[in-house]
Structure 1
Amino acid sequence: MTQGQVYSPLSLHTQGLAVGRGETMLAHGLALDVAGGSGLLLRGPNGAGKSTLLLTLAGLLAPIEGTVTIEGHDPDDGPALHYCGHRNAVRARMTVRQTLGFWAALNGHTGLAADAALDRVGLGKTAKLDAGYLSAGQQRRLVLARLLVSRRPLWLLDEPSAALDADGRVLLADLLSAHLAEGGLAVIATHDDIAVSSLTTLQLGATP
């Protein structure tokens, strides 16, 4: 490992990957190579297959063709990835702290303590509120806190900047920069610009 690197060297590869829903193919011939310390932005119009590709990389959808490989991951280190979809998965009648505690218990307490993670994403003062009282942007910040309480090297994020204000987008960029600096990697579906220099772009085209 290099100085400042936390994660073991890890890389994500796909070969001849085709993804879709049912018999409908949305993208094909995908050859991705994402190394630790770098990230990939997925861009394209609605229906181009960005979310479907993320779900396939996460193992939640089977590929139509091709393979997905995560190289360098030791299963003894725990799961390799976080998948955060475009829905926030927040239970309205659980407090903010309870919500984050639930996710930490499910994914493993391997990162920041819940209160420290909430402070990091600007939600420290909301910890005792029911999560249903949070604005859409605050709920998105709560999703980002999930990434901090359970350390995993690969982040698969679907529209992570949705509903975030300008400060929230700066926060997202800071969290991504820190994650990549530690040797993590990320694949992000987004329509927004994210100010992180080590992100490259893959443009997906809509199915005719």
Structure 2
Amino acid sequence: MRSLREARAVVLADVARAARAVGLSWDASAVSRIETGARQLTLDEFLTLPRIMTAALCEPTTLVTLLADGTGSLSETWALLAEPGVAHLAVEAIPDLARKAVECSKRAAETQGGDTDLYDRAAELGVTPEALSDAMTELWDVRSLRAERERRLRESDTDLSQPTRARTARGHLTRQLMAELRHHLAENGQ
């Protein structure tokens, strides 16, 4: 999980935000503890992990991808867990309410073009997701904070091959974009 995240210069907060979008109460600290093995995953969390990482990394992620070791191969135990039949049996063990919550979150994110971050940012700014989306379109002609952040990151001279520098730059840009949004929303009486 950590190697995938760091290879794509995604910060812990992005993974935590994706987890919250599917109903889990993770923060960046929880993600860090999970990555280091200091915190174990529940069955629900384990089975939801591909969905969380797909949203955080902005690319399809499967249990097989997550369970592969550094060489890209799976140990026999992890390979067994990643088998479709085993995953299906494990899904049956998830309580109906949790399964419905995951399915609803997935449909909502897909309806919004996969940008589950929009809901979190709108709540942080105290506006509706629609108002936030409109503000981003007015300011930057995009409907995603992540898209604008990545555009600005590409235009900067930041060395993206250095994960720490890329994470730092992303954090700085996100704070800058949120400040621009706050100012814009205040000017427009929202």
Q: TM-score range by the shorter chain?
A: under 0.3
Give the TM-score of the pair, scaled to structure 1.
0.22
Higher helix share: 2
Which structure has the greater CA radius of gyration?
Answer: 2
Higher relative contact order (CA 8 A, sep 6+): 1
